[in-house]
Structure 1
């Protein structure tokens, strides 16, 4: 996975994981807003940004590859930090992956900032798809309509209009839908075991959930369900922002991340 670096205080490294259909470049404005408080490293998820394109995806490959690379990067960064820990940041699926990493290796995490984590599995099964997104994506999949699935996914998550982007970008987004589909068992059914009893409760790091005020209500419900199991947690809402708050309100998101950094 391709690594991006936004230089800052080398004594305090941070690792950031982006959303589906994004790239690590999206953390640049947030790093600027943090003003060098952390030495920020961001990975491009498999098949995203400057990471290699995926010709085929084995079941569970996206989460497994992301966790393997993120854990190796966290270990590398922690080895050079003042307290042998890292600050973790994640957005959307990247927030789910960051949470998974924290559960696997809690002693290495100084703080954990989760922006709009899409961990639907934290909710009771009947409440996981209140707006019918998963059902709609399954219908498009059954019909072989990859463009329709991509457009529906982007529309729900406050992304660009698929028909308004340049042809090359459109093709890339449609290709990335295969990675999105591969993560569905992770976020809707917890294939990685993130929510196993006792896992979240063992996290001693300062955790903050950041949600957009205009996001689908299910996102706040997910944050509440996860927060209820964490020992040291805060919650914040970005006024006027939707799911893509890190891109549309980077200064505000950076301010909130800084609050959590101060708590650690």
Structure 2
């Protein structure tokens, strides 16, 4: 098992509010730079790179990737702080909220990819997702990581996102490097392997939680967000207009505005 200290951690901003930020699959900690700037000095963002992402070492395939990533994120919780997670990072943030409620003041889950929720609430939308995901799933099975990364990136991008050939070679290489972790967490995301939906587990996350989705995202995502809102004791949902799945990267100003409003509301209670 990797030592949590082997993970690269980036610090963004110098604000008084300590904020743990957890990026999505095939991205890196620098994805939070836009949000850090938009928060205008209100927070200090502690942003680790997951294994096989950014400047962290590669995952060697040993151990459970979801457990490793959770452990490495939890190692940053040195005091009570807020947490924001995007996509797979949102899943890590949700788990931290259930396992370390005394160390998390609030959580923002941006498009958390907890498909097991939608399998219970809207199975037809999961079937639609699975059908659309089949090309990159086939590429992963075939071991064509470059094609898998290209198709995975396209599926979760909007029509106005840069096309694969237009991305810098360094960006493409980073995506290819990280895409092998996708099948490693499939059972967690789709089958709730860790039992987060078991009776009483989500009840532990009593802190205020905001769940964000983009208005142009895949339809399964708001179904997940609304399903989590119903299951969590203190959660609300909001929509970032004109955004797809990559909400905090494509719309950092809108994301910051909703996050700051959420923080203000939690202070006022």
Using structure 1 for the length normalisation, give the TM-score.
Answer: 0.89
1:69 corresponding residue in structure 2: 72
Do the aligned partners of residues 176 and 129 (structure 1) sit closer, same or farther apart at CA in structure 2, a change above 3 Å counting? farther
Distance (Å, rounded) in 1 between the aligned partners of 2:15 and 2:171: 35
**Alpha-carbon distance in structure 2 between the residues aligned to 1:17 and 1:48:** 12
Q: 1:96 aligns with which of 86, 91, 98?
A: 91
Aligned to 1:162: 164
Residues 53-112 of structure 1 deviation map (CA, whole Å, 9 limit, x = unaligned)? 33x323622x122111111111x1x1xxxxxx2101010100011001111111221111
Residue 221, structure 1, aligned to residue 223, structure 2: yes
Residue of structure 1 equivalent to 2:4: none
> 2:176 is matched with which residue?
174
Q: Which residue of 1 aligns with 2:128?
A: 130
Counterparts of 1:119 and 1:50, CA distance in 2: 26
When the two structures are aligned, how many residues end up with a matched partner? 253
Counterpart pick for 2:61 among 57, 60, 78: 57
Instruction: Output one character per residue of 1:32-73: Cα deviation in whole Å (capped at 9) or x when no partner.
Output: 21122222211111111111133x323622x12211111111
Segments of 5+ residues of structure 1 without an aligned counterpart are 79-84
Match of 1:238 among 220, 240, 262: 240
**Contact 1:154/1:160 (<8 A) preserved:** no
Is residue 144 of structure 2 the alignment partner of residue 139 of structure 1? no
Shift of 1:24: 1.0
* Pair 171,241 (structure 1): closer, same or farther in 2 beyond 3 Å: same
Deviates more, 1:119-128 or 1:195-204: 119-128
Contact 2:27 2:175 in 1 (8 A): no
Shifted more, 35-44 versus 98-107: the winner is 35-44
Instruction: Identify the residue that residue 115 of structure 1 maps to in structure 2.
Output: 110
CA change 1:2–1:129 in 2 (3 A) is farther
Q: Could you tell me which residue of structure 2 aligns to residue 148 of structure 1? A: 147
Partner of 2:196: 194
Partner Cα separation in structure 1 for residue 183 and residue 75 of structure 2: 25
Alpha-carbon distance change, 160 to 45 in structure 1, aligned in 2, over 3 angstroms: farther
SS of structure 2 residue aligned to 1:192: coil
Deviation at 1:145, TM superposition (A): 2.8
Q: Tell me the distance in 2 between the aligned counterparts of 1:174 and 1:64.
A: 22
Q: What residue ranges of structure 2 are gaps of 5+ in the alignment?
A: 1-6
1:123-164 superposed Cα distances (whole Å, 9 cap, x missing partner): 226443423244333322333332222222111100653333
